[in-house]
A and B are shown apart, each in its own frame.
Chain A
Amino acid sequence: MGLTSRLLRVAAARPHALIVAPVGGTSGRLAVEAELARRGWPVADHPADADLLVVTAAPGPEVRAVIERLWRQIPHPKARVEVAEPEQASAALALGAAHLADCEHQLQHVAAPAPVEHHPTPGRNPDHGHESHSGDREPGAGGGDGHGDGHDGAHVGATADARGRGGPHTGHDSGMGGGMEMPGGLPMADLGPDRDGLTLDRLHVPLGPVLPDWPPGLVLHVVLQGDVIQEVETQVLDPGEGGPSFWHEPGRAAPRELDALARFLAVAGWYDLAARSRRLRDVLLTGAPLEQVHGPAAALVGRVGRSRTLRRLLRDLPAGPGDVADLLGFRLAAVRAALGAPDSPPASRVGLDELADLLLGAELAAARVIVAMVDPDTEPVTSRPVGHG
């Protein structure tokens, strides 16, 4: 036990944090990201790599279900904290790290025997049963679709979509799995014609709401063949939470655009420039005048715009009427405009319907870039009655 507790203490000095930013959690997310950067703690891409689950607002009922599922997916040792107010970020992270370092706490509170869950395959850790590449998988970091429990649902083959879309168990009708015992109790994928005239498996996969650099609360229910998106349905979890968007306060156009740019750069795998964009955003949010960051921010935008590699990667990737390189042009123009006129209202965003149109026929990698690039508004734009769940 001495060795374990010592290892726990060594490891807890640099935990990996998985951030869950629901609708209304943007200010909390920004505070947590800034605090993580200050401490030098990495942001986890997915639950398997996380120690610390950080929720950046009081979650509504749909997000709460996702959080419970994520919590079960995170390997021990683990800790969860909620940052209801941005000012609490530092204290909350410190508390989480203290819980991680505390061997007694881990044994008694976190690893305490959970209620036994039924699982068709014996000897498997019930904390993690949720995946299926052939069925309605709840992606590791993708959380789920916010209804039912993907954990239970995935393996009993009953993840019937709450909105009546055919689940993967329709595969039973295709004659592939009728009456047979499926591995792990998972249903088979159904078949459908694809763009090349072949008949391929159709996978129903929810993207979001917890993916790295993903809009708050957004879930895309996609039907994949290979990694090509054939159908998209959009959903926002707990859309009414948290009042008007943090970004729609006056004077926040520039940090918002820098935040969107950072998320696009991170999805594109340009981590250094993403970090730089975040740093400039944080400087602005601490109240520094725009002049202070104007030079470096303009240099950053210029560098991204001049990158021939990036342009070659994005050119001719279809996205609606144009290509993804066009979208990059709009994004960079929006950053420039926000830097030039600090008090201007934030650039308008595409709606979710329009986003779905852009994503049809895109490959998974392109879809991630497109979502990051258009940065859709999922938080309420105007003030509306706040309905806490």
Chain B
Amino acid sequence: MADAAPSSPFAAALPLWTVALLPVLLGAFTWAVVAFDVALAGRARGGGPSGIGSAVVVAVRETARLLVGQRRATVAADRVLWRVGGAVLPVGALLAAVVLPLGERPVADLSVGVVWFNAMEVLAWASVWMVGWGANSVFSLVGGYRFLVQGLAYELPHMFAIITAALGAASLRVTGIVDAQQNLWFVAIMPVAFVVYLISAAAMAFWGPFDAPVGRDLAGGAAAELSGIDRLVFTGGRWLLLVVAAAMAVPLFLGGGDGPWLPAWVWVALKTGAVLVVLVWARRRLPTLRMDRYVEFAWVVLIPLTIAQALVVAIVVLARGAM
């Protein structure tokens, strides 16, 4: 529990050089997810080059394309907001990832890891809104505001979901939460929180069916005026955020590196991959959700459900403590 954890924030952390490893690992994961998504899209289209090879190459081609692409400027754009907003997205995703246990230990084992993750992930709100506002264009602006509405819809159930995991472990430290799941993964005692977390993971990365902020009906929405390196940074950041959000489900609900035979880091990678497969697959099953409708569902159904879930978990924790 919290008391048993070392008092220094870095005592249980990986050595400092792993800070450089983190972007590489997340990048590799992102590449794999892009390839998987491209392969699914190819299957739906029913034509064109198919197979793993061509799907893997697509990310390379897209990156090359955006690297040589010209950056776009618009009249009376707020260029500081616009450029900074795009860069905030990948930076926020990477900062959120420092508390992810890569195996047994994270890059930084903060005593308030869950709060840190939540704070960094919310940077996406600022990012998308800044990108949408900065371009000084109608569709971008509407897209940016759509994401703020989306934030209002998903964030409260999301916070109740992650705080339920912290409650179950009586710790805000991510490694503490993993340790508390040695006997029973939290997904078993708090399934509602887990499902709500998955939903909000898609929503925070404005990933389908929550892709209205960058929707096709808005001709790209918040990202409509981005090209070249700006587009690469923004879309790359979005993919990174999706990967990080999916990866966080593993220590919070799926027992972290817990599993037989294989080393902990392999289990973390496998479980993260499984969560990502679910998210990528789910987006193809549903149309884009409009937030004016979803917010009602989120507040009337999801918030009471997550509060009830937290209550049940609190009673379990209290009962255990009394034993």
Are A11 and B219 in contact, CB atoms less than 8 angstroms apart?
A: no
Q: Specify which chain B residues have a CB less than 8 angstroms from the CB of A364 in the assembled complex.
A: 142, 217-218
How far is B209's CA from A141's CA once the two chains are assembled, in angstroms? Answer: 23
B135 within 8 A of A: yes
**Which residue of the partner chain A has the closest CB to B60?**
A10
Give the interface centre of A45, A77, A124 by most chain B CB atoms within 10 Å: A45
Are B137 and A140 in contact, CB atoms less than 8 angstroms apart?
A: yes
List residues of A (309-362) whose CB comes within 8 Å of B's CBs.
Answer: 309-310, 312-313
Partner of A45, one of B64, B69, B224: B224
Q: Specify which chain A residues have a CB less than 8 angstroms from the CB of B46 in the assembled complex.
A: 37, 275-276, 279
B23 within 8 A of A: no
List residues of B (97-131) whose CB comes within 8 Å of A's CBs.
Answer: none
Question: Using a Cβ–Cβ cut-off of 8 Å, how many residues does chain B contribute to the interface with A?
Answer: 61
Q: Specify which chain B residues have a CB less than 8 angstroms from the CB of A124 in the assembled complex.
A: 73, 75
Known interface pairs A130-B75, A139-B139. Does A307 touch B287 (Cβ–Cβ under 8 Å)?
yes
B-side interface mostly: loop
At the interface with chain A, which of B11-19, B180-188, B258-266, B288-296?
A: B288-296
Partner of A312, one of B211, B212, B228, B293: B293
Bitwise, B204-232 to A at CB < 8 A (1) or not (0) is 00001101100111111000111110010
Q: Specify which chain B residues have a CB less than 8 angstroms from the CB of A205 in the assembled complex.
A: 138
Partner of A46, one of B70, B224, B285: B224
Are B137 and A131 in contact, CB atoms less than 8 angstroms apart?
A: yes
How far is B44's CA from A213's CA once the two chains are assembled, in angstroms? Answer: 18
A388 within 8 A of B: no
How far is B162's CA from A73's CA once the two chains are assembled, in angstroms? Answer: 44
List residues of B (15-33) whose CB comes within 8 Å of A's CBs.
Answer: none
List residues of A (25-53) whose CB comes within 8 Å of B's CBs.
Answer: 37-41, 45-46, 48-49, 51
Partner of B42, one of A40, A48, A76, A265: A40
Q: Can you sample 18 A-B contacts with CB below 8 Å?
A: A8-B64, A45-B216, A46-B219, A46-B220, A48-B225, A48-B226, A121-B76, A131-B75, A140-B139, A141-B139, A142-B139, A155-B75, A212-B216, A269-B217, A271-B41, A275-B41, A307-B287, A364-B142
Interface on B for A, CB 8 Å cutoff?
Answer: 41-42, 44-50, 54, 58, 60-62, 64-65, 67-77, 135-142, 145, 208-209, 211-212, 215-220, 224-228, 231, 284-290, 292-293
